[in-house]
Structure 1
Amino acid sequence: MNPDDEKLLKLAKEIIVKFIELGRVSPTNFEANFRAIFWALKNTVLDARAADLEGAGALEETSGEE
């Protein structure tokens, strides 16, 4: 397992526990909610990394033009 995935699982667990405490999540809808939270976190991280990579690529292109 990727270390980032382990961190995302822990974050998703913390979020789902809060939702359970608030009564927003029950045992019948736990799985769907947990998956949705995990994938929302993962997609957010991946999108942020993609933006960082695109920004780094643009910097390399402009620094090579002398």
Structure 2
Amino acid sequence: MPKMKTHKGTKKRFRLTARGKIKHRAAGTSHLATRRSKKRRRNLRGTRVLETTMSHQIVAALGAYSL
């Protein structure tokens, strides 16, 4: 059987923590931020933990990186 390939787009956007949670960048941070309030921009900094509903699909797409 051939090996399962890692989905490269998923690999670039998500990262696993040591406990198996999935971190990702918050949406709405790349451009057009001047229309958002200072408080909202400040809270969009850093990373977020993904909800568990999508986590099994992300882990499957990461393949070898999900070990």
- TM-score in terms of structure 1 length: 0.30
* TM-score (normalised: structure 2): 0.30
Is the helix fraction higher in 1 or 2? Answer: 1
Which structure's residues are more often strand, by fraction?
2
Which one has more relative contact order, counting CA pairs under 8 Å at least 6 apart?
Answer: 2
Q: Which has the larger radius of gyration?
A: 1
